[in-house]
Structures are given as structure tokens and as C-alpha cells.
Amino acid sequence: RTPQEETLATLFTEVLRLPSVGIDDNFFDLGGDSITSILLVSRARKAGLLISPRDVFQHQNIAALAAMADAAASAQPAPDTEQDVAEGSLTPTPIVHWLMERGGPVRQFNQSMLLQVPADLQEAHLIGALQALLDHHGALRMRLVRVADSSSSSTSSSSSWQLEVPPSGTVQAQQCLHRTDMIGLHEDGRRMLVAEASRAAAERLDPEAGHMLQAVWFDAGSAQPGRLLLTIHHLAVDGVSWRILLPDLQAAWQALRQGNQVKLEAQGTSLRRWARKLHEEATRPARTAELPLWRSILDAPDPLLSQRPLDAAIDTASTAQRLVLTLPSATTSALLTQVPALFHGRINDVLLTAFALAVADWRRARLPQLATSDASAASSVLFDLEGHGREDIFDGVDLSRTVGWFTSLFPVRLDLQGIDLDDALRGGEHLGHALKRAKEQLRALPDNGMGFGLLRHLNPETAAALAGASPQIGFNYLGRFAAQSAQQNGSAQSAQDWAPAPEASALGGGADPRMPMAHAIVLNALTRDLPEGPELSATWSWAGELFTRDDIAELSGTWFHALEAMATHANQAGAGGFTPSDFPLVSLSQTEIEQLENSLHASAN
């Protein structure tokens, strides 16, 4: 109906990979999440529409968001007078403090992607495109500096660490790129070559020397697409950053190939300014008022799942075991769209509810005495939850185009008291009760948990109260990534250049073998958007000295079973409903809401 609505409709279809959308369709019901909302904001601003992630959550369909964008365009915002200098020293953020407190070597701690690149790729164009990334995104030039300062007011052992962002041009792309010939190699030979090159690239990383990025071009000749491995130290990148870097890399290469000057889209708020604002935020009274909430989450019991606690000296990355599983497209589609829409929730609500049910079921089999000895411990599950950390908590801040490690990490306790596990895992009514309860407990965390890291690592008055306790289980949903089917491998017609290679996972990574594990069990999940439909990929990592592969296979199987039960439950009559957080302007209990829903349903019939 309006140019703004047409633009947003196009962007909805692009970021959600849908053929079409209606102006009243809900972004999150269509499969959107907090990470794709950041991508939507970035593309909207490029198209001239000024919106924020907060706007996407408050105005969830095209019609409402377009009207809001109109209002924002006509308003006269107060000028932002705070100077943003991206280069220079950078005070450690909460997640950097967390990393340093773990101890051990961090030199090889990285994320990586393997891309398909054009058969006619020229090395000079690739070097130029990588140089454009290095010059444009300061985090890729960042350097880790050790500072011995006993007088520092920092709250952790990472007080001796600082980060420096040197000027543009400091790092030369030619020194970061290695070319490897893979002409004529068959699939097994390619796989071995890539694996060896991945290990070597990680070993070349050195954050103290400013070596944050390593690239390996696997040249397959002029007849076949090649591969490009990008390995970036985790201090400089996160899941959202890849969604910025890959389009920039392709745009830079395309410009150079056509003989044009590279002009990348402007950045927003720098990582350096963000870090400064976090330190200021950590001591605000409204933030320190969260301390009792976080203490209550950590103080409740967390029964030991293994024979001994995690030991930093024993349980290192070299002892970690790994299991990768995938959920079929039909089930994944329901979890992304139908289930969250019915419960007016988000994908994290669905995944975490199922995970809590799976852990509770797995734990009662391992610790049968727990139900009688400590009922409260048996009915709750404690996680460390990772978030993207780019929360919209400051006016005048835009992180939709900023590269860096913004991750937030905070404890979450999901209380399942009164939930019949067997009924829930069968997809019965208790599954709906569990999902509604988990949704409300997650909504009760201010700013999606941002405050915990601020109080734990940046506020000397509150840090000690939150130190020590650490959940045994970590969970991270990395969002949706474009992917290509393995069947596309070798088909230049169907596989896409500058997208993740068909034979690779969407996002890889690694760590130094002697780096201590942070959790006894970690579940990293992401959605791979394949041509035939979305597929949930789950990567389980665990301390090999504490659990067997059969132990984790049982837990992972129960999680998938709970997710399948979610999809089944969504097709039952009466499934879904609202919860108190859906009505912020009135005070209603869950019981009152369900009574109103039942009355309305009876009237309609």
C-alpha cells in the first residue's frame, strides 16, 4: 500500500527466505528471531528506513513497522553528541572477562566458515576484498595486550588484559591469505586437505600479535568453484558478525572484479564505544537492583550430573567429545513458525523448554533418589544461556553493522514444578503448561539477561556476590544460516558462490587443546536454511572424562523427542494460548488468562 510497506515486505522475504508475506503477518510467527531482527534492521536502514531491533519486537508486522518507520522519519531526534572513535584502547567487555577467567591458552579460540568461491576467482581481487574487510571492521585488526596493573579496579583476573584497535591499514591482507592447490582432488582428498589447512590456520592465529584473521583459498582451477576458509579469532567475531562480513566480502570482490572502488556500507556504533557504555551501565542503580534476581537463580541447588565436578586441570578441549545431529525439515519448520505463533513466543522458548524437559527426564534416571531427597532440585534445571548481546538498551546506539564478540552469558533456571514429565514428553497438555511457564521465566529476565555480565564482571560492588557458582550445562542458539545441500556439491549451476560450501557445516570453530572447558555439557544449535527447507542442527560437546557417548546420545535423543512432541502438540485442539507477559498493561495471572480464553472459546462455539 505504501513504499515503506513494499520495502519491508521485500526485506521480510529476504531475511526469512520466504516467497511472499502479507502486511499483517507477524515477523516472529514467520520464523524470525532476535538475530534475524538485527539483520532486518541493517537492511532496512540501508534502504532508508530507520528502525531498531526494539521496534521489530514492539511492531511485529509490516503494517505496524512501516507506520512506526514513517513516524520516526518525521520526528526530529536529539543529536548524539557523544564522540565515537573506533580506534584506540578498548576496555574488556563482560564476555572477554569471562574468557580470561577460564584460564589456559586462548590463542586458537576461533570461529570459522568454509565458503564456495567462483571458479574464475583472481588472487588479486580476493586480497583486495579481504583488505577492504580488514580496513573497514576494526575488530579484525584488534590486538590483545597484557597489562600488569595491580591497581586496576577490574573485578577479575582479566584486569591484566586490554584490547587495542590500531588504525586502518595496519594489517595487510596479503599476509593473512594462503593459497592451496586442490585441482584434481576427489572428495576424500579435499576433505583431508581442508581439515589440515583448518588446523594450520588456527595455529597461525595470534591475538597478541594482531593476527585475528586467517584465510585459505583452495584453488580448484578455472573449471570448478573453489573454497575459501575464513578463520577468525573469537575475540573479533560472533554469529551476527558473520552475517555482516560475508555480504561485505562478496560486495568488495564484486566491485574489484568490475574495476570499481570498494564502498562498503557505513558502520554504526563502534565496539569501543559499546564497551565504554557497558562499563557506565554496570554501576547504574537500576542495574544493580537486579542483583537479588541473579543471586536467587544461582543460590538454588544444582545437583551434580556426573561423578565429580568439572576440573579445569583435567577437562580441557583435548578431552572434549562431540556429537552432531539434525532434525528433519518438517519438524524444524513447525518449531520455527507454528509452535511459537501458537504460544506467542520465540524459538528460544521452544528449544529451552524441550531442553529442560530432556535434562529433567535424563537426570531422574541418573539420580533416582533426587525426587525424594530434594524435590525443589528435582523440579528445576539450571543453564548458562548465551545471547547475541546486542540488546537495544541505549539510545543512539546501532550495532546492526558492527563486527565483534558481543555475546552475553547468563544463568537461567527453568522451574518445572508440577509438570508431569511423562505427559509432557508424550505431547500432552503438560507440555503446553511447561512452555508457557518457561516463556514467562525467560521474560522475567531484564534486557534478555544483559545485566548479569555487567554485575558479575564490570561492577566491583556486585562481582563477588555472583562469583563462584557456574551452571553445568551451556546452551546457545545461533539463529538461521543460509546453507546448501550436500547433493549440490560440485554443481556450479545449483550451488551458490560466497555461501557456505555444501560439504561444510554452517559455522565451525575450535580452541587450544589445553583450554579448560567452561561447562560439562554444551549444546550449540542453529538452523540451516536449505533449499528443501530449514533443518535444525545440534552440536553437543561434553567432558569426555565425565560422560560417555551413550550418556549424551540418550540426552540428545530425549531433546529431539521433546521437540517432536512440541510439533505434535501444536496440532492438537486447544493448543497454545497467551501468558501474562503478553499483556503488560494489565495484571493477569495465568489461571485468569486461561479462564478468559476458555470463556471466549465457549462463546465462539
Q: Convert the pLDDT of each residue in 256-269 to its tens digit.
A: 999 999 999 998 99
Same domain, 449 and 543: yes
Residue in the block written with cell 555480504? 247
The answer to whether residue 605 sits within a structural domain is: no
Beta bridge partners of 114: 229
* 170 and 60 assigned to the same domain: no
Q: Is the pLDDT of residue 281 over 60?
A: yes
Q: What is the DSSP letter of 261?
A: P
User: Which pLDDT belongs to residue 469?
Assistant: 80
Q: Quick one: pLDDT at residue 15?
A: 86
Indicate whether 445 pLDDT > 60: yes
pLDDT for 3 equals 87
Residue range 114-137: mean pLDDT, rounded? 96
376 and 340 part of one domain: yes
Domain contains 414: yes
Q: Does residue 76 have a pLDDT over 70? A: no
**Cα–Cα–Cα angle for 491, 497, 503, rounded to 5 degrees:** 60
Give the H/E segment covering residue 414. strand 408-415
Per the domain annotation, does 599 fall within a domain?
no
Strands 521-530 and 110-117: unpaired
Is residue 579 assigned to a domain? no
Q: According to the model, what pLDDT value does residue 492 have? A: 42
Report yes or no: 498 and 115 within 8 Å, Cβ to Cβ: yes
Q: How confident is the model at residue 73 (pLDDT cuts 50, 70, 90)?
A: low
Cell 564505544 maps to which residue?
A: 273
Distance of alpha carbon 321 from alpha carbon 546, whole angstroms: 10
Instruction: Indicate if 16 and 95 belong to the same structural domain.
Output: no
pLDDT of residue 363: 95
Residue 482: the pLDDT is 83
Find the CATH number of the domain harbouring 61.
1.10.1200.10
Distance CA 229, CA 568 (A): 40
Q: How many residues belong to the chain?
A: 605
What's the CATH number where 283 sits?
Answer: 3.30.559.30
Structure pTM? 0.91
Amino acid identity for residue 214 in this structure: Q
Is there a single domain that holds both residue 264 and residue 228?
yes
Report the C-alpha gap between 228 and 425 in whole angstroms. 43
Q: Break the chain down into helix, strand, coil percent, rounded to 5.
A: 45, 15, 40
Q: Are residues 10 and 133 in the same domain?
A: no
Question: Worst-scoring range by mean pLDDT, 219-223, 228-232, 408-412?
Answer: 219-223
CA distance 481 to 537: 11
Quote the number of domains for the chain.
Answer: 2
Q: Are 148 and 15 in a shared domain?
A: no
Whether the Cβ atoms of residue 518 and residue 309 lie closer than 8 Å to each other: no
Last residue of a domain, one of 57, 74, 91: 74
User: What pLDDT sits at residue 412?
Assistant: 97
The SS3 of residue 307 is coil
Whether residue 374 is contained in a domain is answered as: yes
CA distance 243 to 124: 24
What would the pLDDT profile of 302-316 be if each residue is shown by its tens digit? 999 999 999 999 999
Which grid coordinates belong to 206?
595470534
The pLDDT tens digits of the residues spanning 493-516 come to 456 899 889 888 767 889 999 999
Q: Is the pLDDT of residue 487 over 60?
A: no
- Per-residue pLDDT tens over the stretch 555-588: 999 999 999 999 999 999 889 999 999 998 899 9
Pairing of strands 177-181, 213-219: parallel
pLDDT value at 68 more than 90: no
What confidence category does residue 160 fall into, taking pLDDT thresholds of 50, 70 and 90? confident
587 is a domain residue: no
- % pLDDT > 90, the chain: 69
Q: Is residue 560 part of a domain?
A: yes
Same domain, 240 and 136: yes
Beta strand segments in 118-171, E? 143-146, 161-165
What cell numbers appear for 84 in the block? 565515537
Find the mean pLDDT for residues 37-47.
87
The mean pLDDT value for 287-304 works out to: 95
* Residue 544: domain span: 83-572
Decide if 258 is inside a domain.
yes
Residues 323 and 389 in one domain: yes
pLDDT digits (tens, 9 = 90+) for 18-36: 888 888 888 888 888 888 8
Residues 6+ apart with CB under 8 A from 43: 11, 14, 15
Q: Among 17, 46, 74, which residue terminates a domain?
A: 74
Q: Does residue 275 surpass a pLDDT of 90?
A: yes
Would you say the C-alpha torsion 386, 392, 394, 400 has a positive or negative sign?
A: positive
The whole-number pLDDT of residue 601 equals 77
**DSSP string over 380-406:** EEEEEEEE------STT---TT--S--
Greater confidence (155 vs 53) lies with 53
